[in-house]
Amino acid sequence: MAQTLTGTQKAAILMIALGSENSANVIKHLGDSEIEQLTLEMANVGKISPEQRDHVVEEFHQLCMANDYISRGGIDYAREVLERALGETRAFDIISRLSTSLKMRPFDLVRRTDPKQLFSFIQGEHPQTIALIMTHLPVEKAATLLASLNQDRQADVAKRIATMGRTSPEVLKEIEKVLERKISSLAPTDYTASGGIQSIVDVLNRTDPGTVKVVMDALEVDDPDLAEQIKRQMFVFEDIVVLDDRGIQLVLREVETKDLGLALKGSNPEVAQKIMANMSSRAGQMLKDDMEFMGPVRLRDVEEAQQRIVKVIRKIEESGAIVISRGGSDEIIY
């Protein structure tokens, strides 16, 4: 029965049941130690009975449903739905197993709040409070929130995120109390990791270029070393010139021609030259004609097109087709 298996054994059985392609998509999101444990267990799990497999898959499905219900209406809503669907005993078992992980997620209600509502709620808070909240948000939502702040606060908040270390649960609970948010209490000796260079890089990489420029310009004046560390880990549209010809060609196959024309309208000549050099004469001329035909375009449209192309580049990088060097003298590997 699935109940007699360890968590790692259940995960291994689930990976086998999902098949190699789906399992690979899951494993690439795990840490090295998790991959090592899971791989070892998959190798040692031996023969799996259909009953074991079905129990594990069903348990996983129920846990996913419970998480979905919690995200929609909270833990009480999830408990009510599960009790109706599975009975009181089974619902209690599932909710109990999820409770520990839920207790470790500060700002859960804030995380589910619409960014516009969240901005109106916290815009009067201290920059350190805003920075702390942003480190607990999904990066897309944090990027929207950063762009909504006044320009004089954007760099301040960005710097606080980048230099933030660990935050004690007492501080988190105090801020949540001020924000009138209810969460489960954390263990008194536990600390929640938040912030850091990568945290603000993830946010800035999903923020509009105008906001990025304001933040980085201010940081370069206030803390040049920090600004340089952030820049080394970021990738913006103009950085396309660091790709070699093969990398450029991979990108050109994936982007929309309209986006390319719009993006180049607001780029420096070096970027346009690099792009054109990797297109056929006919394709290059067609792109030039399209750009001339566009006439004047809004800066916002240009920036959005550049962001879409950067997303394509990141997607190609995540697939392993390219590895982009972020600083130093290492070469770019394809």
Candidates 219, 211, 226, 220; CA nearest to 151 is: 211
Determine the Cα angle at 92 with ends 8 and 69, to 5°.
85
Q: Digits of tens for pLDDT over the chain (334 positions)?
A: 444 778 788 888 887 887 777 777 777 777 766 776 776 677 666 667 788 888 887 777 766 766 665 555 666 666 777 677 777 777 777 666 665 555 445 666 667 666 777 777 777 788 888 888 888 888 888 888 898 898 889 999 998 888 887 776 667 767 766 665 433 333 333 444 455 777 787 777 777 777 778 888 888 888 888 888 887 777 778 888 888 888 899 999 999 989 999 999 878 889 999 999 999 999 989 988 888 888 888 888 888 888 889 888 878 877 878 767 554 444 433 3
Tell the burial category of 29 from Cβ atoms under 10 Å away from its Cβ (0-12, 13-18, 19+). exposed
Task: State both tokens at 113.
Answer: 């709040």
The answer, as to whether pTM is greater than 0.75, is no
Contacts 24+ apart (CB under 8 A), 100-106: 102/70, 102/75, 102/184, 103/183, 103/184, 103/185, 103/186, 104/186, 104/190, 104/192, 105/183, 106/136, 106/169, 106/172, 106/176, 106/183, 106/186, 106/192
Residues 6+ away with beta carbon under 8 Å from 31: none
What domains can you pick out in the chain, each with its CATH number? 2-103 (no CATH), 109-233 (1.10.220.30), 237-319 (1.10.220.30)
Residues 6+ away with beta carbon under 8 Å from 305: 258, 259, 260, 262, 263
In whole angstroms, what separates CA 61 from the centre of its chain?
24
Euclidean distance between CA atoms 152 and 168, whole angstroms: 28
